[in-house]
């Protein structure tokens, strides 16, 4: 069965608020109607009632969420060249597996599989799995997730850390710094509506986390020889929401359901330039943009003053979101903070993901021309047929997915409490951040990781950053601090996507981590 997605452009964290539309923006955006550039509806936001069913925001929210949820139109029957896996404990899920001929697409020479996780006939999640180039029988397994929400994990695969990038001629270019040099890596398209995934949409990290956990159980049932290996979850940006939630699903399922113990063990998690603790991280947009994060100020004095003046109301609204953990207060908080704090940066015309430069391709996903090539490559018929895609239009980012998460208030909700859960179980956590990113900047990531609650919070918080040296090159590549299970790494001269900007530093980081050098040579 091949399906056609309604066409939407990229919606990443930085831009979702400006994509809302006049009248009821939530209904309009779910229908794909209206002027996507308008923010007129935000005028007067400060005076809106945000709680109760009498509030304008609450009414708009309810109407928007009632829009049809199925995002795709089926146009053909599903192919039959998949092996199908099920598990009796959760028969509603099935894993379809298709072995790839590495020579067909030329992305890598290692063994590869692609396919779908199906939930009934409602949700279908696409994945592409590459064995390690080194020792796949014994090397770790890693799940990689990109963010958005609504952006494809094939950004990681074909632009950042995967076995190849895509050149201007739409041919794969070998990546010598790929993370599958020493790990077998799964690139999963989630939540529904992302990349080649399709079906009835979801609107929260909690639901998405349950789907990913179901995928992992069936994956390790298909590849039981890998279940004994170390297993890591890594990702960037909005994966700072996803990864803690997925880890929570794994831990609680193992602890609460002894008869259904997962057949794999979570070894560690890695979050790059993540968005995990919104209340804390919103406080660090003004310092980052105004010259306090190691980058010369990109805003003038008036712009910095405007951002600073809005910060106290942003913080109060975020406090209400954290207190209630409900959709309406969290949506109101995020709308305000995005409009009056984050988006002041938009006036500079600079790349949200790299403060050193303008957008290479303003109409492309995340400002990078190379992502245009990825999208064109994935939309080639021969590529889709080889992989077994059931979606005929691949988009690097899907605005509609992001809109649903925004409507549910998911953007503003905290997920650092699940990082605490990992740390208290001595499961290693790496928070790394390129120091030229604005939207999920290193100042905010350092701040929340300094304050995350666990038994060593005080000791960890008081430790200084120290130079981090890439021993493969002999160069100082960043700053690091580590104690117990928690490590923070600032990566020099990298934007939002560390493996893209600093491939050698990224490769050394992941090589060290997979070799269980969890403190990255930090000495207390």
- SS (HEC) of 461-497: HHCCCEEEEECCCCEEEEEEEEECCEEEEEECCCCCC
506 a catalytic residue: no
Of 152, 165, 178, 237, catalytic: 237
Domain ranges in the chain are 1-524
pLDDT tens digits for 212-247?
Answer: 999 999 999 999 999 999 999 999 999 999 999 999
Residue 310 designated active-site: no
Query: Confidence class of residue 399 from pLDDT cuts 50, 70 and 90?
Result: confident
- The answer to whether the bond into 191 is cis (omega within 30° of 0) is yes
- The DSSP letter of residue 159 is I
| 3-class secondary structure, 308 | helix
Q: Given 139, 277, 496, 506, which residue is catalytic?
A: 496
Mean pLDDT of 504-513: 98
Two tokens at 38? Answer: 């308008």
Q: What integer pLDDT is reported at residue 259 of this predicted model?
A: 56
**Among candidate residues 409, 444, 252, the one with its CA nearest the CA of residue 323:** 409
Residue range 281-325, pLDDT digits in tens: 999 999 999 999 999 999 999 999 999 999 999 999 999 999 999
- At 441-492, the pLDDT tens digits run 999 999 999 999 999 999 999 999 999 999 999 999 999 999 999 999 999 9
Check residue 14 and give its pLDDT: 42
Does the pTM surpass 0.85? The reply is: yes
Range with the poorest average pLDDT among 31-35, 241-245, 333-337: 31-35
Q: Which of 410, 437, 501, 506 is catalytic?
A: 437
56-60, 180-184, 244-248, 438-442: range with lowest mean pLDDT: 56-60
Q: What is the mean pLDDT of the chain?
A: 86
Architecture of domain 1-524 in CATH? 3-Layer(aba) Sandwich (3.40)
State yes or no: pLDDT of 210 exceeds 60: yes
pLDDT confidence of residue 407: 87
pLDDT given at position 45: 40
Q: How many other C-beta atoms are found inside a 10 Å radius of the C-beta of residue 242?
A: 29
Query: Is the N-terminal amide bond of 293 cis, ω within 30° of 0?
Result: no
Helices (H), 32-174: 56-65, 102-105, 154-155
State yes or no: pLDDT of 164 exceeds 60. Answer: yes
Residue among 495, 393, 392 at smallest CA distance from 8? 393
From its phi and psi, is residue 393 left (phi > 0), alpha (psi between -120 and 50) or beta? Answer: beta
Instruction: Determine the average pLDDT of the residues in 500-514.
Output: 98
Q: Is 87 a catalytic residue?
A: no
């Amino acid at each position: 069965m091949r399906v056609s997605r309604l066409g939407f452009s990229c919606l990443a964290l930085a831009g979702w608020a400006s994509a809302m539309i006049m009248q009821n923006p939530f209904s309009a955006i779910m229908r794909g109607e209206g002027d996507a550039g308008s923010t007129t509806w935000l005028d007067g936001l400060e005076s809106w009632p945000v709680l109760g069913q009498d509030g304008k925001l609450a009414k708009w929210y309810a109407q928007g969420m009632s829009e049809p949820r199925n995002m795709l139109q089926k146009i053909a029957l599903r192919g039959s060249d998949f092996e199908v896996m099920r598990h009796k404990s959760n028969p509603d899920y099935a894993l379809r597996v298709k072995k790839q001929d590495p020579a067909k697409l030329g992305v890598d020479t290692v063994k590869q599989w692609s396919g779908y996780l199906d939930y009934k006939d409602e949700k279908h999640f696409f994945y592409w799995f590459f064995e390690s180039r080194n020792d796949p029988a014994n090397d770790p397994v890693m799940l990689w997730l990109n963010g958005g929400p609504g952006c494809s994990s094939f950004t990681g695969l074909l632009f950042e850390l995967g076995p190849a990038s895509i050149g201007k001629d739409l041919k794969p270019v070998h990546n010598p710094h790929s993370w599958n040099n020493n790990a077998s890596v799964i690139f999963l398209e989630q939540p529904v509506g992302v990349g080649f995934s399709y079906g009835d949409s979801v609107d929260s990290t909690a639901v998405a986390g349950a789907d990913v956990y179901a995928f992992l159980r069936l994956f390790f049932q298909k590849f039981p020889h890998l279940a004994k290996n170390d297993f890591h979850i890594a990702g960037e940006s909005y994966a700072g929401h996803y990864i803690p939630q997925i880890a929570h699903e794994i831990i609680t399922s193992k602890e609460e359901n002894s008869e259904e113990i997962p057949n794999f063990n979570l070894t560690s998690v890695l979050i790059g330039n993540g968005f995990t603790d919104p209340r804390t991280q919103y406080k660090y947009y003004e310092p980052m943009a105004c010259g306090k994060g190691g980058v010369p100020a990109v805003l003038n004095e008036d712009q910095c003053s405007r951002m600073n003046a809005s910060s106290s109301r942003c913080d109060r609204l975020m406090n209400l979101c954290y207190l209630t953990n409900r959709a309406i207060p969290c949506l109101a908080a995020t709308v305000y903070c995005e409009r009056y704090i984050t988006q002041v940066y938009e006036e500079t015309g600079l790349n949200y993901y790299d403060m050193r430069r303008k957008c290479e391709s303003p109409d492309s996903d995340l400002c990078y021309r190379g992502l245009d090539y990825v999208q064109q490559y994935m939309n080639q018929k021969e590529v889709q047929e080889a992989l077994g895609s059931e979606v005929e239009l691949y988009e690097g980012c899907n605005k509609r997915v992001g809109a649903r998460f925004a409507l549910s208030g998911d953007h503003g909700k905290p997920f650092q409490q699940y990082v605490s859960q990992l740390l208290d179980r001595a499961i290693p956590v790496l928070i790394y951040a390129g120091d030229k990113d604005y939207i999920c900047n290193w100042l905010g990531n350092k701040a929340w990781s300094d304050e995350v609650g666990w038994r060593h919070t005080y000791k960890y918080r008081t430790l200084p950053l120290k130079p981090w040296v890439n021993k493969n090159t002999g160069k100082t590549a960043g700053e690091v601090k580590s104690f117990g299970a928690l490590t923070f790494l600032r990566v020099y001269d990298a934007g939002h996507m560390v493996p893209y900007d600093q491939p050698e530093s990224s490769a050394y980081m992941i090589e060290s981590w997979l070799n269980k050098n969890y403190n990255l040579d930090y000495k207390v």
